[in-house]
Amino acid sequence: MSLGRLLRALVFALSCAFAATSAYAAGGVIALPDFTQIVQRHGAAVVNISAAQAGKGAGPGFPQLAPDDPMFDFFRRFIPRKPEHPRIDPDNKSLGSGFIVSADGYILTNAHVVEEAEEIIVRLNDKREFRARVVGADARSDVALIKIDATDLPRLTIGDPDKLQVGEWVVAIGSPFGFDHSVTAGIVSAKGRSLPDENFVPFIQTDVAINPGNSGGPLFNLKGEVVGINSQIYSQTGGFMGLSFAIPINLAMEIQAQLKASGRVQRGRIGVAIQEVTRSLAETFALPRAEGALVSAVEPDGPAAKAGIEQGDVIVRFAGKPVEQSSDLPRIVSSSRPGAQVSLSLYRAGVLREVGIVVGEWADEGNPRSRRSERAKPAPNKLGLVLGLPTPAQKRERNVEHGLVIERAQGAAARADLQVGDIVLAMVSGGRQVALKTVDGFTRLAADIKDGQLVTLLVHRGSGTSYVTLRAGD
């Protein structure tokens, strides 16, 4: 090939490549978003939160959701983990994030970030620090509203998470591992995600890199509007693994409005147990499609029973909103005002019916901290310990089959650095190791301990276990 032909061929190839690249970019496919404007305009309204928790070290690690589905091994909330050995002295602080929603100092964050906090310090982007008070916290949605005494603060614009599309870019700003105002980005992976033990929140799933300390921080769309509060991650290691979950901001704002008005959240209930409608169940119950919530039990004298709802009914609409999956019903009912009279649609024996019902009120709401403090506290024994049975979720979280969780530690136990949330697996005394399975069993063993006696406990904390020796007595 002559030099001239070679040059003409090269020019032609380059022009084709340039045209294809230009068309590709013009179609909006190749162009990547620029996040700098979001950070510059809205980063100042994101805050770092440090909460000092009396009697509660960070040793127990992340509070976790109880997974019923093997796909979700550990849904970890984002409180940084301290060293796992019980002998290490914790600083009794948790770190999280939050964001300003009003210029007079109201801040949204996660309830678990400020749970049982004795002191909350909020640090702004300009390095100013303020003490904050908890206006209210709702454990079920994991939303908390706190307040600092300041004015003319930058605040964020609230967006509409219903307009989010799967595949859309989103941005998170927070304090992972205490690194203030770190920015990460990703896409929306799914919407309306239901998680085990979480009936009231239709989570936004993303692949944004979220780590301990991001908890309570904002999730932005590309307009710079907040569309969610980063709340949970899926992780087998405690770090980011590509699955993050955010509370939709419209739900969070409804919660904060109630917290601001009364310090608590009211939720509706109707008193039924439900299950998913499978294709085979739909055929059995003569339904046109596999949708709705199948009523498996009705609470005696509850709102549903009074309305005439029966076991075997399939609820497909509540208060004008469709119930496509069983998980939709708790969310819709809980957002209804207690005492309101609403209509619902249900199938009974294959026939669609309309039923009126008066919504009841969920009884166990309120500040989880105050509920704990109202519980009767048994007196510690000579070891300075009050132990209780761990929940199934705690057992699954720690991967233990037995043991008792520390609810209170003072005296000898406090001197040995045992902490609330540690799980005591066994007691060693007189050369004999006894597994602890019941509170009564521990009480009997503790009753035989004499002042000054050395007792060794096998303690589980985080993902490790170790023996801790303490001397009985005050």
**Residues annotated catalytic, as ranges:** 112, 142, 215
44-66 burial, b at 16+ Cβ within 10 Å, e below that, comes to: bbbbbbbbebeebbbbbbbbbbb
CB contact at 8 A, 184 and 170:
no
Token pair 């939050």 is found at 98
Q: CA-to-CA distance for 153 and 98, rounded, in angstroms?
A: 14
Q: CA-to-CA distance for 328 and 311, rounded, in angstroms?
A: 18
CA dihedral (372, 378, 379, 380) positive or negative: negative
Three-state secondary-structure class, residue 292: coil
Q: Find, among 415, 437, 441, 417, the residue nearest to 425 by Cα.
A: 437
Q: Write the CA distances from 414 to 87, 266, 372, 411, 473, integer angstroms.
A: 11, 38, 20, 5, 12
434-455 burial, b at 16+ Cβ within 10 Å, e below that, comes to: eebeeeeebeebbeebeeeeeb
Beta strand pairing call for 225-234 and 157-158: parallel
Q: Find, among 336, 382, 328, 383, the residue nearest to 357 by Cα.
A: 336
Q: Name the burial class of residue 341, with classes exposed (0-12), middle (13-18) and buried (19+) by CB atoms within 10 angstroms of its CB.
A: exposed
Q: Angle at the Cα of 110 (from 387 to 48), degrees rounded to 5?
A: 110
Q: CA-to-CA distance for 335 and 320, rounded, in angstroms?
A: 13
Structure tokens at 447: 């009753």
